[in-house]
């Protein structure tokens, strides 16, 4: 399978714990995006990378959130000191094109439940 | 005002009918427009994109764009039960990432 891969698919954690999600984009895709989606809402942009450079961060991304894409390949999204409001589906997407018109290919998502 | 607005639905149409899904956006500088389909429990997948005013057809799907009215629509002809899903409108508003609407849930009744 050469699609976008996310791990873990599901994560249940207690409030205050740290969690980390991993995304492996489609090979050779330059851009990698993180979105968050809650029930009944569309995906909300969190951050994106062009190769290894993090080019934009949403105001939604508080100081508790950090994302990396070392070497421009896979990416990790870490949430520190989780809160119940962090419960959501975290979607990773990648895009081949280096401009803003490309199609996004989404992974199956990592669902986070904070108790 | 939300940047991308959609009626949440559900929009219910009988099998074989035309489903019309609408989307408005606030940024007049927006250049590209996308329709994604999201089945329940699945991730979004692209079904159409449109950059120029007018209509763009792909099989049973037609995307319509009116930049003057800041309006995008998606028509699904001969709707099938398998078309039942949430349809997300996404807009390139000039930032580097797509902005999504909240989606319209479509139900096609057999």
| Interface list for chain B against chain A, based on CB atoms closer than 8 Å | 4, 6, 8, 31-32, 34, 42-46, 49, 51, 88, 90, 92, 95-103
Integer Cα distance of B60 and B50 in angstroms:
15
Which of A59, A104, A109 best tests the B interface by mutation, with the highest count of B CBs <10 A? A104
CA–CA separation, B59 and B75 (whole Å): 11
| Pairwise CA distance, residues A35 & A90, whole Å | 6
Q: Kindly state the average pLDDT of the residues A61-67.
A: 92
The residue among A14 and B1 whose pLDDT is bigger is: A14
C-alpha neighbours within 13 Å on the C-beta side of residue B6? 30
Query: Using CB atoms and an 8 Å cut-off, which of residues 26-65 of chain A contact chain B?
Result: 33, 35, 40-45, 48, 55-56
**Residue B75 pLDDT more than 60?**
yes
pLDDT at position A96 is 82
Residue A86 has pLDDT above 60, yes or no: yes
Q: How large is the average pLDDT for residues A38-48?
A: 93
pLDDT given for residue A102 in this prediction: 64
């Amino acid at each position: 399978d050469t699609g976008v891969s996310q791990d873990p698919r599901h994560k249940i954690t207690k409030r205050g714990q740290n969690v980390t999600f991993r995304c492996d984009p489609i090979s050779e895709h330059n851009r990698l995006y993180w979105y968050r989606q809650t029930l009944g809402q569309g995906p909300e942009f969190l951050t994106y990378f062009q190769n290894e450079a993090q080019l934009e961060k949403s105001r939604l991304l508080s100081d508790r959130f950090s994302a990396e894409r070392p070497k421009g390949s896979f990416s990790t999204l870490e949430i520190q000191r989780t809160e119940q409001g962090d419960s959501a589906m975290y979607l990773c997407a990648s895009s081949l094109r280096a401009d803003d018109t490309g199609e996004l290919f989404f992974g199956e998502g990592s669902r986070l439940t904070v108790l | 005002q939300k940047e991308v607005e959609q009626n949440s639905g559900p929009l219910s149409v009988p099998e074989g009918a035309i489903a019309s899904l609408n989307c408005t956006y606030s940024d007049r500088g927006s250049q590209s427009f996308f329709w994604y389909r999201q089945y329940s429990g699945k991730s979004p997948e692209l079904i159409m994109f449109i950059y120029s005013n007018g209509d763009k057809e792909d099989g049973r799907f037609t995307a319509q764009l009116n930049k003057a009215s800041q309006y995008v629509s998606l028509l699904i002809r001969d709707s099938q039960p398998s078309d039942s899903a949430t349809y997300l409108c996404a807009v390139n508003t000039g930032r580097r990432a797509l902005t999504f609407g909240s989606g319209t849930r479509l139900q096609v009744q057999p």
